[in-house]
Amino acid sequence: MDNRSSLINFSLFVFLFAFSFVFSILALGQPTSLLFGIFALLGFVVCIAGSLFNAMLARVDGSTLTLWFYTYAIIASIVLVWYLTRCGTLFGWW
């Protein structure tokens, strides 16, 4: 995977993260919008899984974007945990 396609993938993941974050804010603000919550959860999971997959491919090729993909996966994981704890509080699970 060359650097140009890696950079395009990374920018697509950033846009997906932005949309997922907006959906999560909308889902937490309006508890009746379950569809937004599902979209946010799926978006975060796709962000993390896709970023880790691209990081492994970039590591094999020796690309410099490997560190960026791993960092992105860590940030998306932190936001996913935040979102899940907010959902748990909202639904009264803890």
Instruction: Look up the pTM and report it.
Output: 0.86
pLDDT attached to residue 63 = 79
CA dihedral sign of residues 32, 33, 37, 42: positive
Element (H, E) at 86: helix 66-91
How many domains, the chain? 1
Give the pLDDT band (50/70/90) at residue 2. low
Give the domain range for residue 27.
3-91
Q: Across all residues in the chain, what is the average pLDDT?
A: 89
Identify whether the C-beta of residue 52 lies closer than 8 Å to the C-beta of residue 73. Answer: yes
* Amino acid type, 22: V
Taking alpha carbons only, the member of 78, 40, 72 closest to residue 53 is 72
pLDDT confidence of 73, banded at 50, 70, 90?
A: very high
Please work out, in degrees rounded to the nearest 5, the angle formed at the alpha carbon of residue 73 by the alpha carbons of 72 and 79. 90
